[in-house]
């Protein structure tokens, strides 16, 4: 069974000006997302700046998100690491905190072999009892999880059930879906590829766009699954300029800027991420306005 179908938001972690986590604003964002149709909350992922959290902050943020969500939608916790023992530890703690599933990025920097990836993910999976979505994003990790590796893991490991595919390679994703014969939940990791991936048999998207357009991001998936290809495609194409602006600098720099423009207290970023350049921020603001999103700051 899928952890979720539709649009899950890859949640930002709002910060106070001193860099500490703003849990009150996080609860406001979670509630607004759920009210506007978001189907799952993905906490402590790339967009959530988990890589600059201490382990204690990481676990507490997962716990807080579970409490805020109150079982209204699934909470999927990022618990990956380039160190297998650390990924095991964070995954076990995420399960204890009440997460409904895990998002495991491939080990970064180490550049493991495909066999190493299989052993890493298998080791983490055997230490927890909740479903796992793998996260394939070679641009950040330096390694591509090949379709056969993913298909084998889904077949051999009961609680590895899906993948967030951010390779951007539609041919690779089609190959994966063909190899797995429908036994894998594939989520688009790129907001500009929701329609083609869902059309191939994907379950939805783990989205940055959902922060600023939660209902429409949900509807891109829902309309397509209901057979409204035209309506879904129109929404996808409407948001292409905004999606481009949201990735004009490394994620989550632009989306935190966008949230601040919308009146949320997203706050600053933790270094080495820095504030968005003014020229890019101007383009982002205009793209938001053109998409009908209210900008208040």
Phi, psi angle pair for 11, to nearest 5°? -65, 135
3-class state of residue 294 by DSSP: coil
User: Out of 96, 108, 111, 135, which one is annotated catalytic?
Assistant: 135
User: Out of 23, 70, 126, 164, which one is annotated catalytic?
Assistant: 164
Instruction: Please confirm, yes or no, whether 238 is among the known catalytic residues.
Output: no
d(CA 262, CA 175): 39
Give whole-number Cα distances, 269 to 46, 162, 255, 275, in Å.
12, 30, 11, 7
Instruction: Please confirm, yes or no, whether 164 is among the known catalytic residues.
Output: yes
d(CA 4, CA 21): 27
Q: What residues are labeled active site?
A: 135, 164
């Amino acid at each position: 069974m899928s952890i979720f179908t539709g649009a899950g938001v890859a949640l930002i972690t709002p910060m106070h000006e001193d860099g500490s986590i703003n849990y009150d604003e996080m609860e406001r964002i979670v509630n607004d997302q759920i009210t506007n149709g978001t189907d799952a909350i993905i906490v402590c992922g790339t967009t959530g700046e988990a890589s600059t959290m201490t382990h204690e902050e990481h676990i507490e943020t997962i716990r807080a998100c579970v409490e805020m969500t109150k079982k209204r939608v699934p909470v999927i916790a990022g618990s990956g690491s380039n160190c297998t023992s650390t990924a095991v530890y964070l995954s076990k703690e995420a399960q204890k905190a009440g997460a409904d599933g895990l998002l495991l990025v491939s080990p970064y920097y180490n550049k493991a072999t495909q066999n190493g990836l299989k052993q890493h993910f298998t080791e983490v999976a055997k230490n927890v009892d909740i479903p796992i979505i793998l996260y394939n994003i070679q641009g950040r990790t330096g390694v591509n999880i090949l379709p056969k590796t993913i298909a084998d893991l889904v077949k051999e490991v009961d609680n590895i059930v899906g993948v967030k595919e951010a390779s951007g390679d539609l041919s690779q994703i089609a190959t994966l879906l063909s190899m797995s014969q429908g036994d894998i939940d594939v989520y688009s990791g790129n907001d500009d590829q929701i329609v083609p991936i869902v059309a191939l048999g994907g379950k939805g998207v783990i989205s940055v766009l959902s922060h600023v357009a939660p209902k429409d991001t949900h509807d891109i998936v829902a309309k397509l699954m209901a057979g409204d290809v035209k309506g879904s495609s129109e929404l996808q194409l409407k948001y292409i300029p905004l999606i481009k602006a949201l990735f004009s600098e490394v994620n989550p720099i632009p989306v935190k800027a966008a949230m601040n423009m919308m009146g949320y207290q997203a706050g600053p970023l933790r270094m080495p991420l820095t504030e968005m350049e003014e020229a890019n921020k101007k383009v982002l603001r205009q793209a938001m306005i053109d998409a009908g999103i209210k900008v208040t700051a």
